[in-house]
């Protein structure tokens, strides 16, 4: 009789070996590249002189130093190119705990976990507002709730990318949302963000004058992230759709359970049904500012949120905490797979080779996917299976 525990263990080991092999392959490719550059004569002026970001404040160069107040960083005491120059992904989510757990999860997923005791430092601790962790080429930051909060963080993160001379960083927001006609637990990737009037623009008042910035998101990136969904192992759907971004959780989202409510159940139903007719799939509170600010800077970006209820069925969130914690991991698992794929299995990168099929029963993407991710309620750095 084959011992099922033993074969499970062998299978897990084989998968770990596959992942390790991919990481080692990628690292040895990077090493070869460096050696080649050395042989070719490494000239200092080959390093990028500027970041790839566009349209930034021309006065930034006059700020010496530039103080990023809410991150607790400044360009005098921190060498931005040295500390942040390698950043390729910036992941943002609501709470410090969720982003810290995500950082530990990523560390494991992208093969950077040196040992179990590795501790990550909160790089934004000095600002006492946000939390920020760096895992190799990935920055993970908490953004709080609502557009005003995420806007402040984005201004300072975009300046961070600029000062560090980062090349083509991709920004991804992961979070929760209310679904519109979608099953709770579904992951929604936003095609665009719209306001309460379904206008696809983030409106801000600048010196008392209304200014609107387009809030389109990168369609290609949304598709790439969606393609990391594995319908065979994932117990949920991943869809792409329009996202309504509101200024408030209660009246702004037509809830009937806020401290104040001056409309009827009928009016709420009519509004939510109209949203559904207009292909709105979810409601959250940061996507407008996130989409507008990233696209102004020429940054590719995506919003990936799990629906924790279907708003057509109610307002209150009654799902048990443990279930919510599992659902919250879904965007994290998907985004971690996407990052790993780009880092180690990018077909467009002539220097990287995918793993040979016969060596692995499942691709590492699939392997890790089924193991779940980190959630807000989970203690770092453990990873719990869904
Ligand atoms: C989703 O969840 C939060 C409100 O509960 C808010 O930050 C958002 O966008
Ligand atoms: N986040 C929101 O903004 N709305 C919801 O209904 C759930 C999560």
pLDDT tens-digit map of 355-373: 333 333 333 333 333 333 3
Q: d(Cα 144, Cα 124) in Å, to the nearest integer?
A: 13
- Pairing relationship of beta strands 280-284 and 300-310 according to DSSP bridges: unpaired
| Predicted local confidence at residue 336, as pLDDT | 98
What phi and psi values does residue 346 have, to the nearest 5 degrees? -75, 115
Taking the domains of the chain in order of start, what are their residue ranges?
53-345
Atom of ligand 1 nearest to the CA of 249: 4
pLDDT band at 146; cut points 50, 70, 90? very high
pLDDT tens digits, 297-314:
999 999 999 999 999 999
**Beta strand spans in 238-299 (E):** 238-245, 280-284
User: Does 310 contact ligand 2 (Cβ within 6 A)?
Assistant: no
* Sequence-ordered list of residues with C-beta below 8 angstroms from that of 234, at least 6 positions apart, any chain: 330, 369
- Tell the residue nearest (CA) to atom 2 of ligand 1: 176
Proximal ligand: closest to the CA of 252: 2
Q: d(Cα 259, Cα 268) in Å, to the nearest integer?
A: 16
pLDDT at 254 over 90: yes
C-alpha distances in angstroms, 196 versus 85, 204, 206, 252, 259?
38, 14, 20, 8, 20
Give, for ligand 1, the residue of 130, 177, 303, 317 to mutate: max count of ligand atoms closer than 8 Å to Cβ. Answer: 177
Atom of ligand 1 nearest to the CA of 146: 7
pLDDT at 176 over 90: yes
Report whether 158 belongs to an annotated binding site: no
CA torsion, points 270, 271, 276, 278, in degrees to nearest 10? 120
Q: Give the lowest-confidence range in 300-304, 321-325, 349-353.
A: 349-353
| Predicted local confidence at residue 365, as pLDDT | 34
How far away, in angstroms, is 326 Cα from ligand 1 center? Answer: 17
User: Does 283 contact ligand 2 (Cβ within 6 A)?
Assistant: yes
Considering the chain, what is the average pLDDT of its residues? 86
Atom of ligand 1 nearest to the CA of 285: 9
pLDDT tens digits, 182-232:
999 999 999 999 999 999 999 999 999 999 999 999 999 999 999 999 999
Region 53-345: CATH code: 3.40.50.1580
Contact criterion met (CB below 8 Å) for 168 and 52: yes
Nearest to 301, CA basis, from 235, 370, 202, 374: 202
pTM: 0.85
Contact criterion met (CB below 8 Å) for 365 and 228: yes
* Sequence-ordered list of residues with C-beta below 8 angstroms from that of 205, at least 6 positions apart, any chain: 211
**Does residue 60 sit in helix, strand or coil?**
helix
Nearest to 341, CA basis, from 12, 13, 19: 19
Contact criterion met (CB below 8 Å) for 246 and 283: yes
Q: Give the lowest-confidence range in 98-112, 250-264, 335-349.
A: 335-349
Q: For residue 239, what are its two tokens?
A: 């869809």
Burial of 113 (0-12, 13-18, 19+ CB in 10 A): middle
Chain CA centroid to CA 269, Å? 32
pLDDT at 36 over 90: no
Give, for ligand 2, the residue of 95, 143, 178, 180 to mutate: max count of ligand atoms closer than 8 Å to Cβ. Answer: 178
Give, for ligand 1, the residue of 94, 99, 289 to mutate: max count of ligand atoms closer than 8 Å to Cβ. Answer: 94
Atom of ligand 2 nearest to the CA of 308: 7
């Amino acid at each position: 009789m084959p011992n099922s525990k033993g074969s499970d263990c062998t299978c897990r080991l084989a998968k770990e070996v596959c992942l390790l092999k991919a990481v080692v392959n990628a690292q040895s490719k990077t090493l070869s590249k460096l050696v080649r550059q050395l042989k070719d004569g490494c000239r200092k002026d080959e390093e990028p002189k500027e970041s790839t970001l566009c349209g930034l404040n021309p006065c930034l160069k006059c700020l010496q130093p530039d103080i990023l107040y809410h991150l607790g960083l400044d360009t005098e005491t921190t060498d931005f190119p040295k500390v942040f120059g390698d950043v390729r992904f910036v992941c943002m989510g609501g709470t410090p705990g969720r982003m810290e757990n995500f950082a530990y999860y990523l560390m494991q997923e992208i093969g950077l976990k040196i040992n179990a005791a590795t501790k990550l430092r909160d790089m934004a601790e000095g600002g006492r507002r946000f939390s920020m962790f760096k895992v190799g080429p990935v920055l993970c930051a908490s953004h709080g709730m609502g557009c005003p909060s995420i806007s402040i963080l984005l201004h300072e993160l975009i300046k961070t990318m600029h000062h560090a001379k980062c090349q083509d960083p991709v920004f991804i927001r992961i979070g929760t949302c209310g679904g519109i006609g979608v099953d709770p637990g579904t992951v929604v990737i936003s095609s665009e963000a719209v306001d309460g009037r379904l206008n696809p623009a983030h409106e801000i008042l600048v010196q008392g004058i209304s200014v609107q910035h387009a809030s389109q998101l990168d369609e290609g990136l949304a598709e790439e992230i969606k393609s990391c969904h594995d319908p065979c192992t994932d117990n949920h759907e991943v869809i792409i759709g329009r996202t309504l971004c509101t200024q408030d959780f209660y009246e702004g989202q037509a809830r009937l359970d806020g401290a104040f409510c001056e409309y009827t159940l009928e009016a709420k139903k009519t509004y939510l049904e109209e949203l559904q007719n207009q292909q709105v799939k979810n409601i959250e509170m940061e996507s407008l500012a996130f989409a507008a600010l990233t696209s102004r800077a020429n940054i590719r970006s995506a919003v990936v949120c799990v629906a924790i209820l279907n708003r057509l069925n109610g307002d209150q969130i009654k799902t048990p905490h443990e279930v919510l914690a599992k659902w919250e991991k879904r965007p994290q698992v998907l985004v971690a797979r996407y990052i790993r794929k780009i880092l180690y299995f990018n077909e467009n990168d002539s220097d990287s080779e995918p793993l040979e099929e016969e060596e692995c029963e499942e691709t590492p993407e699939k392997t890790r996917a089924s193991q779940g991710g980190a959630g807000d309620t989970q203690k770092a750095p453990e990873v719990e299976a869904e």
